[in-house]
Amino acid sequence: MSSKIFRVLTMTVAICLMAFASVGHTKTLDEEPSALAMTGDALFARPVLFATTIVGGVVYLVSLPFSLLGGNAAEAGETLFVGPAKATFVRCLGCTQSGRKQEPAHAAE
């Protein structure tokens, strides 16, 4: 029973992450993070944000019946899962804001 719940939860998280993949193309950033910021982000911030995304997804699933009855399921999903997922996966390494860093255009030769 527990392995079935784990598989369902894993598939739900995977589907949500695939749905949010296109969000990274919506905003571009103009930040220049330092090497220390990138290292700190990779070693500390991203693992904590990933854990927050997973825990938030579980809390969202548990609270979903109550959120649906209260009429704020979308807000709960945004706060508990989408926000941490964006901060984890749609942010350049070392940047402080969510969004995708724009690559400079190269002139054709």
pLDDT digits (tens, 9 = 90+) for 94-109: 888 877 666 665 655 5
Whole-prediction pTM value? 0.62
For the chain, domain boundaries: 36-99
User: Each residue of 62-86: pLDDT tens digit?
Assistant: 999 999 999 999 999 999 999 999 9
The answer to whether the CB of 81 falls within 8 A of the CB of 93 is: no
Give the Cα separation of 34 and 54 in Å (integer). Answer: 28
